[in-house]
Structure 1
Amino acid sequence: MTAILALLIPFFGLILIGFIAARVSRQGVEALGWMNVFVVYCALPALFFKLVSQTPVEELTRLDFIAAQLAAVYLVFVVIFAIARLGNRQSVGEATMQAFGGAYGNIGYMGPSLTLLVLGQTAAVPVALIVCFENALHFIVAPALMSLSGGERRSAMALTLDIFRRVALHPFIVSTVMGFIVAASGTAIPVPLARLVDYLAQAAAPCALFAMGVTLALRPARNFSADLFFIAGTKLLVLPLVVCLILGVIGGMNEVWVHAAIVLAALPTATNVFVISQHYGIWEQQASSLVLVTTLLSILTLPVILYLISAGFI
């Protein structure tokens, strides 16, 4: 456990530094704009490209792994949606945001840096595949369900084209596809370009975690209801358990891949959940609070899950 805490302290320390910097500097959220552009469009895509391009192509086609992982995530999604919609009589829009809050983890900003830090480079491929496919599916499901709630006022054709554009042109997905092409072709990347990719990839973790800390500091957190803590507990504890059970039942998968999927499932709610809620004007305050609550609680839950993995209990 001591070794795990030694790994996590610098990780959460970067988030804390970003949080303190935002509170001390008193700059507005717009000051974070170019940092987010660098992280989303440069640093993290470079990291995904590097990881995938250096992987044997046969490891990149494990669709059974991806299908099982997505099934676990959306099983939790459907259960939370049903509880909110049928049990609590919430609107389709509110139920959708609650379901995303319990199933959409911070796999982009926190996922690669933490998983590679704990599990090593052998976890690179499952991380890249999960980030790519899960984000793509979220980009499809969110506008589709919001169209049912009346939050989308575009025609079906316009909505379909926008979903396709968002999926096809997202930098995480584009960089992963480019890495796949390089891996499949066996092409050697020129040394100067490889160094540039390395520089950008090395900046991904510190910049992403710092930006996350700033975001947490600048977004208001209110409405700490019982429902919010139920969703937080589902996200941090139930989702990784479901992922573990489904991958275990299917079997035949590399242990490191299973561990990577569990770690990613145990991450706090993604800040994208707040972005989506803000875009549609639904469940905004609760989404902001949920991101903060799950991030703080993950300081307690993540070490336990990582200990269970390292001790061989998972």
Structure 2
Amino acid sequence: MSLLAIVLPVFGLIAIGFAAARTGLIKDHVGDGLSDFVFTVAVPCLLFKTLATADVPEASPWSYWAVYFAAVIVVWASAHMIVTRGFGRDKPTGTVAGFSAAQANTVLIGIPLILTTYGDAGRVPIFLLIAVHLPLMMSAATLSIELGGSERGDFGETLRKLAVSIFTHPIIIGILLGLVWRFTGWTIPAIPFQILDMLGSTAVPCALFSAGMALKRYGLAGDLRITLTVSFIKLILHPGLVFLFGAYVLHLPPIWLGAAVLFAACPSGINAYLLANRYGTGVRIASSSIALSTALAIISVTGWLWVLTRWAPV
């Protein structure tokens, strides 16, 4: 029951958002606006306030990053190989499949899930992963597709656009500003702090509701075998590897281990669809993987929470 008390409110808000969009109670463009608010205002404010004010523990983040991204490399390569060699798709499509299997919905689902599970103690692990997850994943996916196609355009121009898109991303800006503020040693004045706190507190419910509304547009299409394979790798293999590496190889602290596993257990992120749509390849694989993995995540996340409570080293 304690696990359900964590999972059901999170996925309940997703279900309500989906129902609101499905019934037409709230129009699709409203969902788009809500998602923009989450990405450009609420989450950056939450991350800025967290980084500027949190007590960062002495533990090194390198082992935390190593655990998570070692698993990313394995699942990305596995999905890519299965789709290209097993299903006979081209390399750019394999990149989309690998990206869908390795890139988690960290903002709309990961942050609310970890904050619900660990409270304020989960804020620092959230920041440490969000800070590198978006730049690394988007850069790797973009470069993989560009290098895999002989006629994709000017590679130098691609790098320039990639750098601009990363360093003008609101979440990255929020992190960088929080980092700069922390190094100044200044305290945040009372009224600005209250504003940041109010905006940041909207991140969790708005993110989950907008994730549900976004789910309405992603139906199951294309080869169901590929979608099932990508979803299995995303929901089972990825968090499983993170758990094994973090619990028994590099021995992460319990909350850091839990945050890494729950991040990995999140369904495929919307960035997979945006990447596929931008390059015109693997669009159905990305959209179907988002829909199916999100629908199944309520079961898999509950299972991983149980694993963390029963099998994680203390």
Q: TM-score range by the shorter chain?
A: over 0.9
Instruction: Give the letter aligned to residue 70 of structure 1.
Output: F
Equivalents in 2 of 1:152, 1:198: separation in Å?
48
Gaps (5+ residues) in structure 2? none
Deviation at 1:85, TM superposition (A): 2.4
Equivalents in 1 of 2:274, 2:197: separation in Å?
29
Q: CA RMSD in A?
A: 2.0
Equivalents in 1 of 2:143, 2:152: separation in Å?
11
Partners of 2:101 and 2:233 within 8 A in 1? yes
Superposition pairs of residues 21-60 of structure 1, within 5 angstroms = 21-25=20-24, 29-56=28-55, 59=58
Gaps (5+ residues) in structure 1? none
Superposition pairs of residues 183-222 of structure 1, within 5 angstroms = 183-222=182-221
1:256-275: per-residue Cα shift (whole Å, max 9, x none)?
A: 10110001101111122112
Partners of 2:63 and 2:252 within 8 A in 1? no
Superposition pairs of residues 185-264 of structure 1, within 5 angstroms = 185-223=184-222, 225-264=224-263
| 2:43 alignment partner, SS class | helix
Partners of 1:127 and 1:260 within 8 A in 2? yes
Deviation at 1:59, TM superposition (A): 4.7
Bigger shift: residues 41-50 or 146-155: 146-155
Instruction: Give the letter aligned to residue 51 of structure 1.
Output: T
Equivalents in 1 of 2:290, 2:245: separation in Å?
26
Superposition pairs of residues 1-314 of structure 1, within 5 angstroms = 2-25=1-24, 29-56=28-55, 59=58, 62-150=61-149, 153-223=152-222, 225-313=224-312
Bigger shift: residues 196-205 or 55-64: 55-64
Q: What TM-score does the superposition give when structure 1 sets the normalisation length?
A: 0.93
Instruction: Say if 1:284 and 1:27 are closer, same or farther in 2 by CA, change over 3 A.
Output: farther
Equivalents in 2 of 1:152, 1:39: separation in Å?
36
Instruction: Say if 1:51 and 1:267 are closer, same or farther in 2 by CA, change over 3 A.
Output: same
Equivalents in 2 of 1:274, 1:152: separation in Å?
22
Deviation at 1:191, TM superposition (A): 1.0
1:120-170: per-residue Cα shift (whole Å, max 9, x none)?
A: 211211111112211111120121111134397331221111111122222
Q: What TM-score does the superposition give when structure 2 sets the normalisation length?
A: 0.93
Deviation at 1:210, TM superposition (A): 0.8
Alignment length, in residue pairs? 313
Equivalents in 2 of 1:14, 1:79: separation in Å?
32
1:58-95: per-residue Cα shift (whole Å, max 9, x none)?
A: 65862332233212212211122122223333211110
Instruction: Say if 1:220 and 1:308 are closer, same or farther in 2 by CA, change over 3 A.
Output: closer
Bigger shift: residues 68-77 or 293-302: 68-77
